[in-house]
Amino acid sequence: MTKSKSFFYNLVKPFKLKSTKETQDEELEQLAAQEQKIFKFQTLISATKNFHPDNKLGEGGYGPVFKGKLEDGREIAVKKLSQTSKQGKKEFTNEAKLLARVQHRNVVNLLGYCGNPEKLLVYEYVEHESLDKFLFKHQEVLDWKRRYDIIRGVARGLLYLHEDSHDRIIHRDIKASNILLDEKWIPKIADFGMARLYPEDQTHINTRVAGTNGYMAPEYVMHGTLSVKVDVYSFGVVILELISGQKNSTFDLDPECQNLLDWAYKLYKKGKSLEILESKLAASADPEQVCACIQIGLLCTQSDPKQRPTMRGVVLMLNKKPSALDEPNRPGIPGTRYRRSHRSATSSSAAGTSGASSSHASTATTTSTTMVASTPKGSAFVAARSGSSTMTSAAGSSGHGVSHSGPHRKLRSDPHGKRPMVIQD
């Protein structure tokens, strides 16, 4: 090699581009080393008894989770990345990076990371697992005091993520199954695979839609507009689920109401808020606390994100009487005619939908009106009411693809959509 070529080679060498995978792996290893959170693979093999099926706690979005016990007696939960999950690799890396410096009583604690020969995340073990098992699968009755403490705890955890953590974080998938309960029934927000860092100098960002049916805010579903108010909306849904014992996405108590939010608002306006309360809680409930929480849940689920409180506001409101709280309008429901304006949305039009999609095409059958958000590039978002399926979609940067030319005109999807929504079971 000539001197000139050798000089050029040495000059360019430090700037050689690395693959995304190599960069992510190095970032994680550096972060884990910096935070002193590295676990040896053999340590985790021993703790989980070689990932024995008897120690399996469940299956996460990107791989199985196993219970383990370290030599010092600490119980742990080990999240293992599935070798076949491509999307999972991104979510796995995202969760590790976001949680590395997060520490709060109401956020699950990431103890460490193992990157070789397999990718593993190590968490504190949470005794009672997820909230949804107690609310919807009736494993054990949660009395009102526990439910109220869960509401307060999750509120404090979200306040920490939005305003007090090292980096401002939007979770994007707050729901009952992502709230874990420890041995003292203290709630811990978990599963940060879809969380996003949020620039403090911006009011919102536009992003690909990712979340769970029944918990996503209208402006996020329809336009991909992401802000901390998206988490506030999801939290409002969780409040109303905790009070009623009903799941928003599968609600069917009242044929006149589209979902839990609709029903709660209907009873609230009639002055019958306490009828929302799950009947078996009547003996243990504080009526004033219940009414205040219902009002807060409705305020958190307002159609216009500007009308929703911040999580700091929610924490303060939880100490107030119902009479001191603002009057909520009808809650926002994805698929209703939400417009990004200064006016509040009070319409509750549009009914639930069902849909399916593949990597090449998307079809939808509707019971009345189909929820659609189209982007300027022609991609379409067809939201489906299908239980608690997690879904992702490509959203346009401007979010102006939905038009309403008249009060009776149904929304229609773009027939030339290039990137249909993917629904994950």
- Where in the sequence numbering do the catalytic residues fall? 173
Radius of gyration of the chain (CA): 23
3-state secondary structure 383-425: ECCCCCCEEEECCCCCCCCCCCCCCCCCCCCCCCCCCCCEEEC
CA gap 136, 424 in Å, rounded: 21
187: β partners:
181
Cis peptide leading into 117, omega within 30 of 0? yes
CA angle 164, 170, 175 (to 5 degrees): 110
Distance CA(201)–CA(187), nearest Å, equals 30
3-state DSSP assignment of residue 228: helix
Three-class DSSP category at 357: strand
3-state secondary structure 46-93: HHCCCCCHHHEEEEECCEEEEEEECCCCCEEEEEECCCCCHHHHHHHH
Please say whether the dihedral angle defined by the alpha carbons of residues 213, 215, 220 and 222, taken in this order, is positive or negative.
positive
The dihedral of CA 387, 389, 394, 395: what is its sign?
Answer: positive
DSSP bridge partners of 75: 69
- C-alpha triplet 274, 277, 281: angle, nearest 5°: 115
Give just the sign of the alpha carbon dihedral 130, 136, 137, 142: positive
Record the tokens describing residue 84, joined without a space. Answer: 């076949």
Task: Give yes or no for a contact between 271 and 304, defined as CB atoms under 8 angstroms apart.
Answer: no
